[in-house]
C-alpha cells in the first residue's frame, strides 16, 4: 500500500483529500505545519508528498528543498494561485508536479497516480529478488539459476523480475507489455509471447514443461509459487 503524506494547514482540504486518497487504496498521513511535515517525511518514508506552499512553521518551498537533500520522495506542490506555478517551475523547488487551488480532489488523485507511475518507471526497485533457485540482482543486472549465470536481454530481464517479485500473481500480456515499453498499445500483446518464449529458452531446463514461468491460459503469465 502506497503511503501519501499531506502537508496542509486547511483542515477541510486535508479531510477531503484524505477521504479521496483512502478510497483509492492509499494510506494517508497528515501534518498541518511545514516543520512537522518535514519531520514526518524523514521518519515515515512516504511514497509521495502533497505539499501546500504556504504553511506555518516552515514554508512549503523550504520543506521541498530540505526533503530533497535527504530523500528521493516525489513531491506535488499545491499553490493558492495558478499564476504561481510558472514562477515555481523556474525556482528548482524539486517538486515533480504542481496543482493550484481550488482543485478537484479527483484531479489530485489522478496526478498522484501519474507521478507515482512516472517515478516507478524511472526508478525500478533495486531490491534483490530470490525465489526458488533464481536470484535477480538489479544493480548488477545479473540473473542466476543456482550458480549459473543467465544472459538475458533487458526486456527478458524486466519481465522475469516483475513476475518473480510476486510469485503466483498472474500478469496479463497487456500488463507485461507496459513493463517493457512503459506504455502499452492494444494489439501488441502477442510480442510478449515472443519475449516469454525466448526467456524460457534461457531460463527453463525443459521449455515444454516450464518450471519457473507458467502460462495462464487466456490471460497471461505468472512466476511459480514456492510450493509448486
Ligand atoms: Ca496554506
Spell out which residues have Cβ within 5 A of ligand 1, the ion: 9, 52, 54
Vertex 82 angle, CA 77 and 86, to 5°: 75
Domain boundary among 73, 100, 121: 121
Mean pLDDT, to the nearest integer, of 27-33?
A: 97
- Distance (angstroms) between ligand 1 centre and the Cα of 59 equals 9
Q: Residue 175 — very low, low, confident or very high, per pLDDT cuts 50/70/90?
A: confident
- Do residue 140 and residue 79 come from a single domain? no
- Distance (angstroms) between ligand 1 centre and the Cα of 104 equals 16
Q: Residue 29 — very low, low, confident or very high, per pLDDT cuts 50/70/90?
A: very high
- Distance (angstroms) between ligand 1 centre and the Cα of 45 equals 22
Q: Coil, helix or strand for 32?
A: coil
- Do residue 163 and residue 60 come from a single domain? no
- pLDDT tens column, 184-219: 565 577 789 999 999 999 999 999 999 999 999 989
- Do residue 138 and residue 93 come from a single domain? no
- Distance (angstroms) between ligand 1 centre and the Cα of 25 equals 26
Number of domains in the chain: 2
- Distance (angstroms) between ligand 1 centre and the Cα of 172 equals 43
pTM value is: 0.57
Using only the alpha carbons of the chain, give its radius of gyration.
21
**Sequence-ordered list of residues with C-beta below 8 angstroms from that of 127, at least 6 positions apart, any chain:** 138, 165
CATH number at residue 101: 3.40.50.2300
- Do residue 55 and residue 145 come from a single domain? no
Is 228 a member of any domain?
Answer: no
What is the model's pLDDT at position 187? 58
- Do residue 103 and residue 157 come from a single domain? no
- Distance (angstroms) between ligand 1 centre and the Cα of 80 equals 8
What is the model's pLDDT at position 164? 94
User: Looking at the predicted structure, is the pLDDT value of residue 82 above 80?
Assistant: no
Amino acid at each position: 500500500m502506497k503511503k501519501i503524506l499531506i502537508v496542509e494547514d486547511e483542515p477541510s482540504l486535508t479531510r477531503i483529500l484524505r477521504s479521496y486518497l483512502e478510497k483509492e487504496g492509499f494510506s494517508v498521513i497528515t501534518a498541518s505545519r511545514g516543520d512537522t511535515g518535514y519531520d514526518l517525511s524523514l521518519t515515515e518514508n512516504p511514497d509521495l508528498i502533497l505539499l501546500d506552499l504556504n504553511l506555518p512553521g516552515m514554508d512549503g518551498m523550504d520543506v521541498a528543498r530540505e526533503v530533497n537533500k535527504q530523500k528521493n520522495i516525489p513531491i506535488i506542490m499545491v499553490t493558492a494561485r495558478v499564476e504561481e506555478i510558472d514562477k515555481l517551475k523556474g525556482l528548482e523547488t524539486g517538486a515533480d508536479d504542481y496543482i493550484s487551488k481550488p482543485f478537484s480532489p479527483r484531479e489530485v488523485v489522478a496526478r498522484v497516480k501519474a507521478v507515482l507511475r512516472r517515478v516507478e518507471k524511472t526508478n525500478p526497485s533495486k531490491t534483490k529478488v530470490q525465489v526458488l533457485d533464481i536470484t535477480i540482482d538489479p544493480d548488477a543486472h545479473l540473473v542466476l539459476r543456482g550458480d549459473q549465470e543467465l544472459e538475458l536481454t533487458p526486456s527478458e530481464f524486466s519481465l522475469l523480475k516483475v513476475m518473480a517479485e510476486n510469485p503466483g500473481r498472474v500478469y496479463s500480456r497487456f500488463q507485461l507489455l507496459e513493463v517493457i515499453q512503459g506504455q502499452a498499445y492494444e494489439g501488441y500483446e502477442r510480442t510478449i509471447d515472443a519475449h516469454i518464449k525466448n526467456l524460457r529458452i534461457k531460463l527453463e531446463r525443459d521449455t515444454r514443461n516450464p518450471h519457473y514461468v507458467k502460462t495462464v491460459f487466456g490471460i497471461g503469465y505468472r512466476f511459480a509459487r514456492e510450493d509448486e
